[in-house]
Amino acid sequence: MTQEKTSDAPAIVWFRRDLRLADNPALMAAVETERPLVLLYIDETDLERPYGAAKKVWLHHSLNSLSKSIHDKGGKLLLREGPAEAVLDDVIKQSGAEAVFWNRRYEADGIERDSNIKASLQDRDIEVETFNGSLLTEPWEVETQAGGYYKVFTPYWRAASQVIGPRMAANPPLKAPNELIPFQKNLKEDELDLLPKSLDWDEKVMTDWSPGENGARDRLNSFLKGPIKEYTDARNIPSNETGTSRLSPHLAAGEISPKQIWQAARDGKHDADKFLSEIGWREFSYVLLYHNPKLAEKNYKADFDNFEWRTDKKSFEAWTKGQTGYPFVDAGMRELWQTGWMHNRVRMVVASFLIKHLLIDWRDGEAWFWDTLLEADPAANSASWQWVAGSGADAAPYFRIFNPFGQGEKFDEDGDYVRKFVPELKDIPNKYIQTPWKAPKEILKKAGVTLGETYPEPLVEHTHARERALSRYKESRGE
């Protein structure tokens, strides 16, 4: 419970991955003290794993949106840069704050620094209150009958849903505060340097997105008005721009909470089980990360530690640039670079291609996604890459190797997705759009395609790559 107001000293609300006013328990608890508020965001310079370039671009725009929303409620967002503990100490010294509120984070580095900061503040008789503002359940909360954490998604989600349903009925999402009482004294501010200096990527990418709480709410409402009805099938078609909710960047920044998504989907009486299970995978990923702090660095399954990865900078670069010679893979990698996002079906295919066709370490792919995904999330990113690699919890078996052109023929039957992101192939007939190397010379010539010049030959032949991957896997297991 938060303390009653004892003086005119302000309370600090430390925003992190909760860049919203509604359903923000730390903010609401601070508001209820009736103290003046210092609403603070710190660009932490001592993070163990700093945000990637794409995430920083999103953050820049999201903070602008949050600042405006706070201003409209009478408050002010204070932006600072530096090590979190030092910045907090400086703000407390300047303001005389007697309380600090924040919503928890769950990666090991965040837990450690937050615990140290909390202990230091409490030693100085400064009130600290922390809350769950980003998950439906705490990562340690849903346990197996034996008392451990779930390592398989389906039984985990079944058990978690039994907790979430009644809890949501009793504790619906919080409304945004009606007003914010600002702390009147001017405090030192920093100009955050989040946008890239040498690329015009920011302007191009943001044409597809509306960062901020209002953008998140609009995107959810649009999805629930119609596309959710077709979600089970449409979510696998990458050319269908309304087939998925595209809420992931908003969710990762905390512009919308999973509680808000859950309630909106259920209140609309939608058949939302499949959609909400994707929220469940996010929850499950945080369970895995909490119990396996090195999930982005270390194989979850130790028997993968013997796997011999290839070092092939040229092939890796071709993959990052969408120049593998496999159109469905290349379309996905170019979509990522151009929009900061990639369709989930395609993510599995491009990840499988890197890991199993090229035999390049999954950690290299995870790092590339961390830098280029607007939604880069410490739990979902690492858990998903390990899932595809076969080294993770409840993972696809290693021998499940996605066929990079078979997937395209199934889920991009008319080639719309490939033509959008690999326009040099736009005049190739549907029959060959996923396998241009099979097209007769006259068809390639008519389409203006010269393999090896205007579009690359495949980096590796599929059957050979598959056999090589399976052989390498058996070797790693001593078979």
pLDDT value at position 7? 64
Q: What is the mean pLDDT of the chain?
A: 94
Task: Summarize the confidence of residues 384-402 as an average pLDDT.
Answer: 90
Among all residues, which ones are annotated catalytic? Answer: 278, 281, 309, 344, 362, 385
Q: How confident is the model over 235-251, as a mean pLDDT?
A: 95
Per-residue pLDDT tens for 269-302?
A: 778 999 999 999 999 999 999 999 999 999 999 9
CB of 131 closer than 8 Å to CB of 29: yes
CA angle 339, 344, 346 (to 5 degrees): 80
Alpha-carbon span 99 to 30, nearest angstrom = 8
Which amino acid belongs to residue 276? L
Give the H or E element holding residue 175: none
At 246 the pLDDT is 96
Could you tell me the pLDDT band of residue 8, with boundaries at 50, 70 and 90?
A: confident
Nearest to 355 by CA among 317, 390, 405, 327: 390
Beta carbons within 8 Å of 408's beta carbon, 6+ residues apart: 326, 327, 328, 415, 417, 418, 433, 434
Whole-number Å distance between alpha carbons of 352 and 129 = 43
Q: What is the pTM of this model?
A: 0.95
Q: Which tens digit of pLDDT belongs to each residue from 324-355? A: 999 999 999 999 999 999 999 999 999 999 99
Q: Which domains does the chain have, with CATH numbers?
A: 11-134 (3.40.50.620), 135-172+212-291 (1.25.40.80), 302-476 (1.10.579.10)
